[in-house]
Amino acid sequence: SKRIFHRALSTTVMMKAIVQNGFGPPQEVMQLDHQVPKPILKRGDQVLVKIHATSVNTPDWLAAYGVPRALRPVFGGLLCRARNRIRGYDVAGVVEQVGSKVDHVQVGDEVMGSIEEGAFAEYALVPGKNVIRKPDKISMEEAAGAIMSGITAHSAIYEAAKVQQGQHILINGASGSIGTFAIQMAKAQGATVTAVCSGRNAALVKSLGADYVVDYTKEDFTASETTRYDIILDNVLNRPYEETKKVLKEDGFIVPNSAGDTDKFWGSLPQMIIHKPKNYPVPDCNPSRENLQKVAGLITSKKVKVVIDRVFPFEQTPEAVEYMASNRGKGNIIIKIQQD
């Protein structure tokens, strides 16, 4: 049996991945590991993708730090230890193998898709229902940046807010990965957009179409005596619901897209439960083929562009996750895994 074990080991193909052990600062708990078994196609509905680019999203840094603590069983398993975990959701790459039940992508196709965890690696198994062919006009980096943040912004603007022509929407946290998509999608719908971010990002949000900018370091958007909004997309949720409500029109509503301050996680949750679903619609990130196509379509038709802040080399993934944790990102933070 020892000989069989050795033979099994010798046939296992290895890959590089960024592996997390324990919770804490990404540079301490995430490491490049050259000896991670390459995933093997197990089911007919899967696609094996060689990943060229991925991106960092809020859940990646929350999972690295293990905050809020209440979510540690999710991030780290029942014992909350976070052993040998590979983070990352967004996959842009080339198909290496296709399961028998998948017929919409083929070996060699450039694709974009989503997985539940494991994109900070050279290869990943992507469910067929969460992957599409990547349009040629979209680069690997752009595709990687458009998946979780593009789909969440799409859900916020088109499904939760159902933004209509002529409406006035305020987007709190407008210069981040979701905000930069949301501004452009709201403009594509014909809305007036007020973007809330720090002054250093005013030019960026204006270049994406924002009509007005509120610099939160100088001005409190909930203190306005005159402006009233149809919709507030709140990517920060740092203000109590009662205060934000004051600047809504009578039939206006909030789309909450954050758990709020991670130290006060439970603070905003009761509000979501009380007000959901009618006047507190929460966006979600459902990376179905249909939703991936919708976001890709907005990009190829040039209604929306993917704002890329920084592209990190693969081995600097922990730095990229730390940068995301700083809350200072301007658009999307990309990790380049392979040269295209």
Ligand X SMILES: NC(=O)c1ccc[n+]([C@@H]2O[C@H](COP(=O)([O-])OP(=O)(O)OC[C@H]3O[C@@H](n4cnc5c(N)ncnc54)[C@H](OP(=O)(O)O)[C@@H]3O)[C@@H](O)[C@H]2O)c1
Number of residue whose CB is nearest ligand X? 176
**Considering beta carbons, is residue 98 or 247 the nearer one to ligand X?**
247
Sign of CA dihedral 314, 316, 321, 326: negative
Cβ distance to ligand X smaller for residue 93 or 281: 281
- Tell me whether residue 122 is exposed, middle or buried, using C-beta atoms within 10 angstroms of its C-beta: 0 to 12, 13 to 18, 19 or more: buried
Least separation, in Å, of the C-beta of 272 and ligand X? 11
Smallest distance from ligand X to CB 286, Å: 9
Beta carbon of residue 30, minimum distance to ligand X (angstroms, whole number): 18
- Closer to ligand X by Cβ: residue 48 or 325: 325
Smallest gap from Cβ 25 to ligand X, in A, equals 17
* Type of residue numbered 114: S
Minimum distance from residue 205 beta carbon to ligand X (Å):
8
**Exposed e or buried b for every residue in 13-23, given b needs 16+ CB within 10 A?**
eebbbbbbbeb
CB of 204 to ligand X, least distance (A): 9
Binding residues vs ligand X (CB under 6 A): 57-58, 148-149, 152, 172-179, 196-198, 201, 216, 235-236, 238, 257-258, 283-285, 327-329
Q: Which residue has the tokens 């210069």?
A: 175
| CB nearer ligand X, residue 102 or residue 308 | 308
CB of 55 to ligand X, least distance (A): 9
Enter the tokens of residue 61.
Answer: 């840094």
The nearer residue to ligand X, 126 or 183, going by C-beta atoms, is 183
Q: Which is nearer to ligand X, 244 or 257 (CB)?
A: 257
> Which lies closer to ligand X via its Cβ, residue 29 or residue 210?
210
- Contact (Cβ atoms closer than 8 angstroms) between residue 96 and residue 46: no
